[in-house]
Amino acid sequence: MIEIKNLVKHYGDKKAVNDISFTVKDNEILGFLGPNGAGKTTTMNIITGYLSSTSGTVKINGHDILEEPALAKKDIGYLPEQPPLYNDMTVEEYLKFICDLKQVPKKDRKEHIDTITDMVGISAVTGRLIGNLSKGYKQRVGLAQALVGDPPILILDEPTVGLDPNQIIGIRKLIKNLSKNHSIIVSSHILSEIQEIADRVVIINHGKVAAVDTIMDLSQRLSGTSKILMSFKGPAKDVASRLKMIPGIAEVSIRNAGDIGEVEFVLALKAGNEVRANAFFMMAKSGWPILEFRSLNPSLEEVFLSITAG
Q: Each residue of 83-114: pLDDT tens digit?
A: 889 999 999 999 999 999 999 999 999 999 99
> What is 137-191 written as a DSSP string?
HHHHHHHHHHHTT--SEEEEESTTTT--HHHHHHHHHHHHHHTTT-EEEEE-S-H
With CA atoms as reference, report the closest residue to 113 among 88, 148, 84, 74: 148
On whether the pTM is more than 0.85, the answer is no
- Indicate if the pLDDT at residue 258 is higher than 70: no
| Mean pLDDT of the region 257-280 | 81
**CATH 3.30.70.1340 is right for the domain spanning 224-298:** yes
Q: What is the pLDDT of residue 136?
A: 84
With CA atoms as reference, report the closest residue to 252 among 222, 221, 283, 207: 283
Q: Over the stretch 36-58, which tens digit does the pLDDT of each residue have?
A: 888 888 999 999 998 999 999 99
| Mean pLDDT of the region 169-183 | 89
| Mean pLDDT of the region 277-291 | 92
Q: What is the pLDDT of residue 64?
A: 94
Q: What is the pLDDT of residue 184?
A: 95
Q: What is the pLDDT of residue 261?
A: 73
With CA atoms as reference, report the closest residue to 6 among 45, 36, 33, 46: 46
| Mean pLDDT of the region 234-238 | 90
- Indicate if the pLDDT at residue 260 is higher than 80: no
Tell me the residue type at 229.
L
| Mean pLDDT of the region 213-225 | 78
Q: What average pLDDT does the chain have?
A: 90
Angle between helices 91-101 and 106-120 (to 10 degrees): 130
| Mean pLDDT of the region 3-31 | 93
Architecture of the domain defined by 2-219: 3-Layer(aba) Sandwich (3.40)
Of 127 and 82, the structure prediction assigns the larger pLDDT to 127
| Mean pLDDT of the region 140-153 | 93
Q: What is the pLDDT of residue 200?
A: 94
Contact 74, 38 (CB under 8 A): no
Least confident among 64-78, 123-137, 218-232: 218-232
3-state DSSP assignment of residue 310: coil
Q: What is the pLDDT of residue 127?
A: 95
- Indicate if the pLDDT at residue 77 is higher than 90: yes
Q: How confident is the model at residue 65 (pLDDT cuts 50, 70, 90)?
A: very high
- Indicate if the pLDDT at residue 272 is higher than 70: no
- Indicate if the pLDDT at residue 20 is higher than 70: yes
Q: What are phi and psi of 115, to 5 degrees?
A: -65, -45
Q: Boundaries of CATH 3.40.50.300 in the chain?
A: 2-219
Of 260 and 193, the structure prediction assigns the larger pLDDT to 193
Q: Boundaries of CATH 3.30.70.1340 in the chain?
A: 224-298
Q: How confident is the model at residue 310 (pLDDT cuts 50, 70, 90)?
A: low
Share of the chain above pLDDT 90, in %: 59
Q: How confident is the model at residue 298 (pLDDT cuts 50, 70, 90)?
A: confident
Do the bridges between strand 14-24 and strand 2-11 make them parallel or antiparallel, or are there none, so unpaired?
antiparallel
| Mean pLDDT of the region 166-186 | 89
- Indicate if the pLDDT at residue 33 is higher than 90: yes
Strands of 153-157's sheet in order across? 76-79, 153-157, 183-187, 29-33, 200-205, 208-213
- Indicate if the pLDDT at residue 289 is higher than 90: yes
For residue 164, the tally of other CB atoms under 10 A from its CB is 11
- Indicate if the pLDDT at residue 280 is higher than 70: yes
